[in-house]
């Protein structure tokens, strides 16, 4: 376009960014990139390379190495070798390296931005002004955490060698979210970028060399999904951090089941963008541009489901269509475009097919008339209206510039529609009424809530999801926890604590009539004692082999009833921490009154000394006190994010939890697991110790007399592993805690993959439940809750 024409039409002319420096970088490697292992460039064992394409033009940019298992072995070995020295140099030296990385990336920020736009197709405005500044911020922020590790996090230690697998939508940003916290906490890493977008990770490898990062601390391996799987399956990798599709996330969850590898998964989403009738509609329209047309909609937390109050729906759709008409599509390096290229032909086809499906299923499609360049992979901004909540395009991630709109009438309907998804990554809430926004935000099952804003990120705030959007957080103090483990974990034993038995001890009566020796105990479901569906019971013998009594043998229908009862109890989770504390104190008081009776029961089952049994009861009472004390003190943070925001990091209940109690310590094992879970507002289905169930079944009476709402604690007795399987496979159970043998742990993690339940298992290691450091504390509350970050912008 000529300058004269531009003056006449007042249209934008092309404003291409110069790519010379990025091309020079490619040429410096002869456009053929090796693997970065142990601080050196090494040719792949396969001798094979694949092409990296510029999606704006379909031109080849470079050849990238295809790493195989042998290369992964080399990289993991290098990371393992580098680990002791990286730990030894200490927090301050690590902080200096992270600081140097931040400075060096900042110095080359334009090169990174141009290279990212060339490789991924995202507009240079976004890489220059959003992606790379966030990358730099992550390294600076985590340089600070590296410095503070030994003081602020002294009860935790590094995990070791970390495997990290990242997607193509934010290549360098995802790299920084993974590498910065991992190395700041003293770990070493092997990272695989996505096959479509490896170049900025390889440039980052050069930055590591430039700042003199010790060899082997960061290793970059390129390749396809198989290379990722080799990292996942490597026995010397202690943790996997993955961002990508839910489908691959599930594969990884199953592959790592029972191995003890720590796992964080940041997966897909179908995030609601909720607009109430009092919202500022012009701001909403700009918000929608950021929500679904930023990065061509290839964003895991994209506000891809527009939920709009019916009274303003038509007005808003009209404004959106008008704005869509002004969006300019073009080469990613053009500074005057809004929408760049789709990452590759495969993703373009996925978008085209999903849109066709939307049309076939009867929704109304509107696409802007903006012309898409013919020489690359482009797709126009699209809006679907008349969409049914069950339509495929309303349920499945499209991962493209396609907005799907639905309307609602009442606030409750908005919440129901928002939560009508298997995902739970983010939500965006638009209203001028802050009371309404703060009422809605906690009700949406999502890890992030943006109020009157969207797609804002910062290193100081955690990001991550619920349900099939995965688990774990990146950013904020909560993100650091993904790369640490409590030091106390090293003290767990391979064997349960031995108990001392004393056959002649009679200081606590074993024939206390209130123990109901000849009684078959029922189960406890929805606040009532319930007979088992199957009508069977199981004989329980004492440690001496003598008959004590029988317990109901629960089956899958009993579990189903218990899950239903847990879900129908909204009361407990809505109570304040103070109110829950009062119930817990009451529970402890009632247990105190029946101290001797509970001790007798323990003696009867275990044949241990009465002094030890009394100690177990006393410790149980004390433990309930601890959690009652913490109930209104385990709170969140207000994060210092760089934007003009108050960012509230609030611990939220997980929902319905399945708890398989330890087999040892019949009362204390039950108390130590159930009480922290309910302290955080969860409703639980508990499977007590299979061999020693009576302390749990006796506890019904304590629950009944302590004002615990019906459905908060449901107890199903029977075969632990059979019942555990049913819980792990149940789609309405949100989390599983399993204390038992290693096979059971593996099974729990494997079966939980279907709906991406959170799991906490003991990998066959045993805590000493009598020890306060091992048996109680905030780590239990952490596993019983998840952090939601609520962003509230301010400024007039």
Virtual CA dihedral for 474, 476, 478, 484, nearest 10 degrees? 80
Q: How far is CA 342 from CA 115, 196, 296, 355, 363, in A?
A: 16, 11, 7, 15, 23
Among 36, 273, 384, 399, binds ligand NDP (CB under 6 A): 399
Instruction: For ligand NDP, give the closer residue by CB, 458 or 690.
Output: 458
Q: Where are the alpha helices (DSSP H) in 400-549?
A: 411-419, 434-440, 476-480
> Nearest distance from residue 397's CB to ligand NDP, in Å?
4
Query: 18: which DSSP letter?
Result: P
Contact 13, 1 (CB under 8 A): yes
Residue 334: which region, alpha, beta or left (left: phi > 0; alpha: psi -120 to 50)?
A: beta
Instruction: For ligand NDP, give the closer residue by CB, 164 or 759.
Output: 164
Residue 245 as a binder of ligand NDP (CB under 6 A): the answer is yes
Angle between helix axes 109-120 and 20-28 (nearest 10 degrees) is: 80
Residue 123 as a binder of ligand NDP (CB under 6 A): the answer is no
Q: Which residue is nearest to ligand NDP (CB)?
A: 228
For residue 307, report the phi and psi dihedrals to the nearest 5 degrees: -115, 115
Stretch that binds ligand NDP, among 103-111, 241-249, 453-461, 722-730 (CB under 6 A): 241-249
3-state secondary structure (DSSP) of residue 651: strand
Contact 370, 328 (CB under 8 A): yes
Q: Which residues fall within 8 angstroms of residue 541, CB to CB, at 6 or more apart?
A: 547, 548
Query: Quick one: which H or E segment has residue 277?
Result: none
Calpha distance 648→482 (Å, rounded): 20
CB atoms within 10 A of CB 571: 14
> Nearest distance from residue 264's CB to ligand NDP, in Å?
12
Among 118, 146, 161, 165, binds ligand NDP (CB under 6 A): 165
Q: 66, 195, 208, 300: which is the annotated catalytic residue?
A: 300
Residue 580 as a binder of ligand NDP (CB under 6 A): the answer is no
Rg (CA), the chain: 28
The closest of 656, 660, 639 to 739, measured between CA atoms, is 660
Stretch that binds ligand NDP, among 226-234, 484-492, 541-549, 788-796 (CB under 6 A): 226-234
Residue 450 as a binder of ligand NDP (CB under 6 A): the answer is no
Calpha distance 130→607 (Å, rounded): 65
Calpha distance 192→196 (Å, rounded): 11
Q: What string marks each residue from 168 to 207 as x (binds ligand NDP by CB under 6 A) or -? A: xx----------------------x-xx------------
Contact 472, 263 (CB under 8 A): yes
Stretch that binds ligand NDP, among 78-86, 87-95, 222-230, 506-514 (CB under 6 A): 222-230
> Nearest distance from residue 225's CB to ligand NDP, in Å?
3
Residue 164 as a binder of ligand NDP (CB under 6 A): the answer is no
Residue 539, Cβ density class (10 Å: 0-12 exposed, 13-18 middle, ≥19 buried):
exposed
Among 87, 148, 251, 729, binds ligand NDP (CB under 6 A): 251
Contact 66, 45 (CB under 8 A): no
Structure-block tokens of residue 560: 């189903």
Structure-block tokens of residue 125: 């405005």
Residues 484-513 that bind ligand NDP (CB under 6 A): none
> Nearest distance from residue 30's CB to ligand NDP, in Å?
22
Q: 116, 126, 195, 266: which is the annotated catalytic residue?
A: 266
> Nearest distance from residue 447's CB to ligand NDP, in Å?
12
3-state secondary structure (DSSP) of residue 464: coil
Instruction: For ligand NDP, give the closer residue by CB, 228 or 340.
Output: 228
Instruction: For ligand NDP, give the closer residue by CB, 190 or 308.
Output: 190
> Nearest distance from residue 197's CB to ligand NDP, in Å?
9
Query: 297: which DSSP letter?
Result: G
> Nearest distance from residue 345's CB to ligand NDP, in Å?
13
Half-sphere exposure of 389 (CA within 13 A, CB side): 15
Among 229, 481, 562, 675, binds ligand NDP (CB under 6 A): 229
Stretch that binds ligand NDP, among 175-183, 227-235, 366-374, 532-540 (CB under 6 A): 227-235
Virtual CA dihedral for 591, 592, 597, 599, nearest 10 degrees? 100
Calpha distance 316→280 (Å, rounded): 10
Calpha distance 768→715 (Å, rounded): 24
> Nearest distance from residue 794's CB to ligand NDP, in Å?
29
Instruction: For ligand NDP, give the closer residue by CB, 228 or 775.
Output: 228
Among 133, 225, 380, 486, binds ligand NDP (CB under 6 A): 225
Stretch that binds ligand NDP, among 139-147, 159-167, 270-278, 285-293 (CB under 6 A): 159-167
Active site residue 266: yes
Instruction: For ligand NDP, give the closer residue by CB, 347 or 569.
Output: 347
The closest of 390, 309, 381, 388 to 351, measured between CA atoms, is 381
Instruction: For ligand NDP, give the closer residue by CB, 226 or 544.
Output: 226
Contact 457, 135 (CB under 8 A): no
Instruction: For ligand NDP, give the closer residue by CB, 243 or 673.
Output: 243
> Nearest distance from residue 763's CB to ligand NDP, in Å?
22
Total residues interacting with ligand NDP, rule: CB under 6 A: 27
Instruction: For ligand NDP, give the closer residue by CB, 111 or 196.
Output: 196
Q: Where are the alpha helices (DSSP H) in 371-474?
A: 392-395, 411-419, 434-440
Residues 305-364 that bind ligand NDP (CB under 6 A): 347, 350
Residue 243 as a binder of ligand NDP (CB under 6 A): the answer is yes
Contact 174, 65 (CB under 8 A): no
3-state secondary structure (DSSP) of residue 565: helix
Among 76, 300, 484, 584, binds ligand NDP (CB under 6 A): 300
Residue 401 as a binder of ligand NDP (CB under 6 A): the answer is no
> Nearest distance from residue 130's CB to ligand NDP, in Å?
15
Stretch that binds ligand NDP, among 112-120, 164-172, 365-373, 640-648 (CB under 6 A): 164-172
Stretch that binds ligand NDP, among 165-173, 175-183, 697-705, 763-771 (CB under 6 A): 165-173
687 forms beta bridges with: 660
Q: What string marks each residue from 257 to 286 as x (binds ligand NDP by CB under 6 A) or -? A: ---------xxx------------------
Residue 395 as a binder of ligand NDP (CB under 6 A): the answer is no
Residue 414 as a binder of ligand NDP (CB under 6 A): the answer is no
Instruction: For ligand NDP, give the closer residue by CB, 248 or 405.
Output: 248
Active site residue 372: no
Contact 738, 677 (CB under 8 A): no
Calpha distance 94→106 (Å, rounded): 18
What are the residues binding ligand NDP (CB under 6 A)?
165-169, 192, 194-195, 224-225, 228-229, 232, 243-245, 248, 251-252, 266-268, 300, 347, 350, 397, 399
Hey, which residues are catalytic here? 266, 300
């Amino acid at each position: 376009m000529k300058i004269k024409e531009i003056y006449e039409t007042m249209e934008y002319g092309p404003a291409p960014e110069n790519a010379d420096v990025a091309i020079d970088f490619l040429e410096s490697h002869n456009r053929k990139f090796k693997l970065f292992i142990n601080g050196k460039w090494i040719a792949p064992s396969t001798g094979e390379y694949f092409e990296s394409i510029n999606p704006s033009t379909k031109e080849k940019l470079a050849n990238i190495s295809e790493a195989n298992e042998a290369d992964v072995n080399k990289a993991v070995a290098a990371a393992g070798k580098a680990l002791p020295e990286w730990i030894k140099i200490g927090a301050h030296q690590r902080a200096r390296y992270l600081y140097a990385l931040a400075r060096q990336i900042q110095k080359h920020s334009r090169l990174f931005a141009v290279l990212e736009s060339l490789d991924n197709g995202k507009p240079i405005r976004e890489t220059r002004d959003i992606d790379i500044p966030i990358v730099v911020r992550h390294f600076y922020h985590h340089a600070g955490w590296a410095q503070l590790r030994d003081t602020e996090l002294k009860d935790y230690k590094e995990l070791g060698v970390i495997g990290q697998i990242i997607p193509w939508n934010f290549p360098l940003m995802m790299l920084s979210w993974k590498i910065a916290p991992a190395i700041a906490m003293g770990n070493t890493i092997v990272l695989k970028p996505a096959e479509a977008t490896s170049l900025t990770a390889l440039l980052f490898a050069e930055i590591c060399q430039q700042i003199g990062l010790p060899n082997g601390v960061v290793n970059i391996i390129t390749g396809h999904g198989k290379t990722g799987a080799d990292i996942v399956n490597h026995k010397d990798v202690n943790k996997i951090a993955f961002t990508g599709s839910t489908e691959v996330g599930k594969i990884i969850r199953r592959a790592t089941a029972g191995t003890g590898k720590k796992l964080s998964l940041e997966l897909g989403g179908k995030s609601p963008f909720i607009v109430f009738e009092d919202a500022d509609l012009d701001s909403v329209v700009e918000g929608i541009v950021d929500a679904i047309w930023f990065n061509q909609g290839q964003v895991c937390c994209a506000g891809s489901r527009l939920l709009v109050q019916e009274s303003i729906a038509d007005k808003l759709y009209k404004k959106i269509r008008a704005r869509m008409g002004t969006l300019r599509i073009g080469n990613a390096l053009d500074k005057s475009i809004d929408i760049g290229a789709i990452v590759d032909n495969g993703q373009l086809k996925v978008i085209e097919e999903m849109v066709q499906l939307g049309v076939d299923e009867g929704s109304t499609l509107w696409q802007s008339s903006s012309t898409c360049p013919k020489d690359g992979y482009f797709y126009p901004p699209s809006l679907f209206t008349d969409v049914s909540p069950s339509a495929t395009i309303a349920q499945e991630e499209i991962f493209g510039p396609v907005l799907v709109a639905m309307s609602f009438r009442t606030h409750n309907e908005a919440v129901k529609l928002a939560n009508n998804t298997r995902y739970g990554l983010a939500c965006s809430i638009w209203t001028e009424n802050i009371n309404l926004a703060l009422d809605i935000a906690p009700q949406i099952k999502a890890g992030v809530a943006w109020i009157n804003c969207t797609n804002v990120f910062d290193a100081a705030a955690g990001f991550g999801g619920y349900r099939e959007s995965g688990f774990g957080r990146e950013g904020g103090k909560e993100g650091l926890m993904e790369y640490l483990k409590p030091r106390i974990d090293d003290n767990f034993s391979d064997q349960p604590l031995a108990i001392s038995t004393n056959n002649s001890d009679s200081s606590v009566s074993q024939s206390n009539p209130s123990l109901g020796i000849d009684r078959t105990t029922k189960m406890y479901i929805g606040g009532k004692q319930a007979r088992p569906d199957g009508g069977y019971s199981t004989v329980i013998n004492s440690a001496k082999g003598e008959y004590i009594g029988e317990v109901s043998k629960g089956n899958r229908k009993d579990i189903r009833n218990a899950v239903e009862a847990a879900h129908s109890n909204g009361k407990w989770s809505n109570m304040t921490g103070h109110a829950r504390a009062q119930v817990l104190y009451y529970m402890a008081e009632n247990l105190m009154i029946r101290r001797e009776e509970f001790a007798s029961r323990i003696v009867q089952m275990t044949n241990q000394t009465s002094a030890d049994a009394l100690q177990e009861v006393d410790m149980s009472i004390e433990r309930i006190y601890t959690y009652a004390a913490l109930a209104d003190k385990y709170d969140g943070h207000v994060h210092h994010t760089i934007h003009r925001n108050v960012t509230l990091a609030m611990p939220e209940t997980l929902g319905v939890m399945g708890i398989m109690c330890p087999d040892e310590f019949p009362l204390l094992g039950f108390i130590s697991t159930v009480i922290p879970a309910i302290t955080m507002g969860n409703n639980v289905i508990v499977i007590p110790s299979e061999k020693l169930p009576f302390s749990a079944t006796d506890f019904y009476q304590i629950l009944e007399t302590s004002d615990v709402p019906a459905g908060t604690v449901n107890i199903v007795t029977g075969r632990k592993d059979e019942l555990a399987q049913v819980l792990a496979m149940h789609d309405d159970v949100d989390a599983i805690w399993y204390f038992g043998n290693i096979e059971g742990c593996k099974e729990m993690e494997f079966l939980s993959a279907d709906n991406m339940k959170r799991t906490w298992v003991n990998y066959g290691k045993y805590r000493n439940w009598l020890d306060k450091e091992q048996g109680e504390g905030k780590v239990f509350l952490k596993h019983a809750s998840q952090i939601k970050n609520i962003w509230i912008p301010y400024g007039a």
